[in-house]
Amino acid sequence: MSLRAHLAWLLLLSLPVLADPPPDYPFVGHDAGMAQAREAGKPILLYFGRYGCAWCDHVNRKTFSDPGLKQRLSDNYALIYVDAEGGKRIRLPSGERLTEGELGARLGAFATPLFVFMTPEGKVVAKIPGFKTVADFQDYDRYVRGGHYRKQTLLEFLGSKP
Amino acid sequence: MRARLCLVLAVFSAAAATAAPIDVAPAGTFHHLDASGRQSLALAGGQVALVWEDSHGGAPRCYLGLKAGAETAFREYPLGRGECFDPAVAALDGERFLLAWEDETGINAALAGPAGPGGSINLGAGAHASVAAHPTLGAHIAWNAPAGRWQRVWRASLRVLGTQPRAATPQAADAAPPSDDQGFPALAAGEHGVRLLWEDRRHGHTVIYASASADGQVWSAPMRVSGNPTGRAPGNLGRGTGAMRPAVASFGGGFAAAWLDKRDFLSGYDVYAALSEGAGFAKDGKAQDNFADAIAQWHVAVAGNRRGELVIAWDDDRDGTSDIWLTRLTAAGYSENFTLPETSGPAHQSDPAIALDEAGNLHLAWIERAPGSDSSGPTRLRYTVWPLPKS
């Protein structure tokens, strides 16, 4: 194998596993994240990814690589990653047991990535599909942690931005 | 949409009415029809068997419902120990069925006759079991279980001795060591052999693979069934689109496979299907019509009978709320999609499980929630029969 081929192979090995949660973020599985949110009283950011998903890869590289966003989300949210096609079993706050894939069907995760913001008790506040920028996530953070979801939809909130 | 539905039903001519739906189990407690391959309903010699999971006992438990064709209620039998998931059922012989489920002891299999289930056997740790049987090709079970870092699909033939099955040594569906996860197997047996499909992530995204056996003993090397493309998107992103939850049925002289496929990634999963061609499957294609293209589909099931009728069912909310949608294979291809009055309307109907008898009656079970209730609202487990009109 040539030196160039060796380097290419090493580069390939060094890439993060695709469509997993972004590296160095404290994303955990569904049940652990729900428990963490309840205990800490933190809102939840649930990231639905899909194995091999190009747009998940894109948002991981372009958006979640921002150190400020990483700090903001890691400090203030229980971060949950769910494989939208996964067969792992989870437990909902109601006590119902489902697979990760079935949770995706319930929440309409037909396009990935899908970002679901929830209260610490697991009530859905906003569902946002597709690639989003750092500025987008800063807006969502203000909407969720500012409690604006109690009076406005996310679209109303974003539309009323100065 | 309703006008189109009427037209479709008119095309099928003089559609006979469905039987009044039966509520199979007590309402309200997280009913699930989640068998791998959506094998939750089977017919054997005039008996109907339905398997499901619910939490009316305070925790997820599996149940078998049995009834003779003319009876208007199912007799209920608990299955498994402790929390139990994903029970599956297939016709065995006479009026008997082959069952499988996952509980705190792992994967289990048992037989059931009109008087209920017999003793079970345990096949070790695993999840998502599927079963199939044929009078001359034998009984078979498949499931996925951890193998080192990955989940791997296993299969075993079952010998039926009296009221209990006995399993041969399990074999990997793919003899080569796995390079990524495999899961959600689906089995079917018919006049032309046995087919096993599963989800496979060896290409870095989820695709559908299959293995075939002509005699129930020797199995082919794995072959790819789904045509969802493998390859990175511009910018060196991702590895390919998804395909998941395969289902397979024998019909006429062959097999039909169906699954959820996201190759058109903007509108969510679509219903794709492929018909058998020799030991493999022909090129796949959409089984849904164009009216479904902008809507995500979920929970695809397939059923056939020996006289060659084939039905595919799923749920989608193209009419505003989730309904059960159906298509039939005709000489001109898959029919326009249609639904039935009992499985459509303002309530939320989902998770179909289907079986076709030799008289051409479609047996259909589904989960229903009241109009306006959220996804954690009370559920009903319902069943009906619809005589297929002549196509």
What's the sign of the alpha-carbon dihedral B345, A116, B149, B122? Answer: negative
Return phi, psi of residue A139, to 5°. -65, -45
**Lowest mean per-residue pLDDT among A2-6, A62-66, B64-68, B387-391:** A2-6
**Lowest mean per-residue pLDDT among A14-28, A30-44, B156-170, B227-241:** A14-28
Q: Which of A97, A112, A127 to mutate to probe the B interface, most B CBs <10 Å?
A: A97
- Asked if A96 and B376 come within 8 Å (Cβ–Cβ), the reply is yes
Domains defined for chain B, CATH in brackets: 2-14+34-370+377-385 (2.130.10.10)
SS3 content of chain A, % helix, strand, coil (to 5): 45, 20, 40
Q: Is the pLDDT of residue A3 over 60?
A: no
Q: Is the pLDDT of residue B31 over 90?
A: yes
Cβ atoms B95, B114 nearer than 8 A = yes
User: Rg of chain B over CA atoms, in angstroms?
Assistant: 20
pLDDT confidence band for B10 (50 / 70 / 90) = very low
Residues of A within 8 A of B262 (CB-CB) are: 50
Report the run of H or E that residue B129 belongs to, with start and end: strand B127-134
Q: Is the pLDDT of residue A22 over 80?
A: yes
pLDDT confidence band for A144 (50 / 70 / 90) = very high
Arithmetic mean of pLDDT, A64-70: 98
- Summarised one tens digit per residue, pLDDT across range B118-176 is 999 999 999 999 999 999 999 999 999 999 999 999 999 999 988 899 999 999 999 99
pLDDT confidence band for A9 (50 / 70 / 90) = very low
pLDDT of residue B55: 93
- Asked if A87 and B245 come within 8 Å (Cβ–Cβ), the reply is no
* Percent of chain B whose predicted confidence (pLDDT) is above 90: 84
Arithmetic mean of pLDDT, A3-15: 38
* Percent of chain B whose predicted confidence (pLDDT) is above 70: 96
Residue with tokens 């196509």: B391
- Round the average pLDDT of chain B to a whole number and report it: 93
Cβ atoms A53, A23 nearer than 8 A = no
SS3 content of chain B, % helix, strand, coil (to 5): 5, 55, 40
* CA distance linking residue A100 with residue A85, whole number of Å: 7
Calculate how close chain B gets to A58, using CA atoms only, in Å.
Answer: 6
Q: What is the number of other CB atoms lying within 10 angstroms of the CB of residue B57?
A: 10
Residues of A within 8 A of B268 (CB-CB) are: 110-111
- Summarised one tens digit per residue, pLDDT across range B85-111 is 999 999 999 999 999 999 999 999 999
- Summarised one tens digit per residue, pLDDT across range B325-370 is 999 999 999 999 999 999 999 999 999 999 999 999 999 999 999 9
* CA distance linking residue B185 with residue B153, whole number of Å: 7
Q: Is the pLDDT of residue B266 over 80?
A: no
Calculate how close chain B gets to A109, using CA atoms only, in Å.
Answer: 8
Return phi, psi of residue B261, to 5°. -140, 130
**Lowest mean per-residue pLDDT among A16-25, B75-84, B105-114, B336-345:** A16-25
Structure tokens at B259: 């699954």
CA distances from B305 to B20, B43, B255, B280, B335 (A): 23, 11, 10, 20, 17
DSSP bridge partners of B190: B193
Cβ atoms B198, B185 nearer than 8 A = yes
Give Cβ neighbours of residue A2 (< 8 Å, ≥ 6 apart).
none
pLDDT of residue A10: 36
Interface size A-B, in CB pairs within 8 Å, comes to 83
pLDDT of residue B16: 66
* CA distance linking residue B270 with residue B292, whole number of Å: 8
Residues of A within 8 A of B146 (CB-CB) are: none
* Percent of chain A whose predicted confidence (pLDDT) is above 70: 88
Residues of A within 8 A of B128 (CB-CB) are: 87
- Summarised one tens digit per residue, pLDDT across range A89-121 is 999 999 999 999 999 999 988 889 999 999 999
* CA distance linking residue B97 with residue B389, whole number of Å: 28
- Summarised one tens digit per residue, pLDDT across range A71-82 is 999 999 999 999
- SS3 track for B326-377: EEEEECCEECCCECCHHHCCCCEEEEEEEEECCCCEEEEEEEEECCCCCCCC
Cβ atoms B278, A57 nearer than 8 A = no
SS3 B205: coil
CA distances from B261 to B227, B288, B388 (A): 9, 11, 27
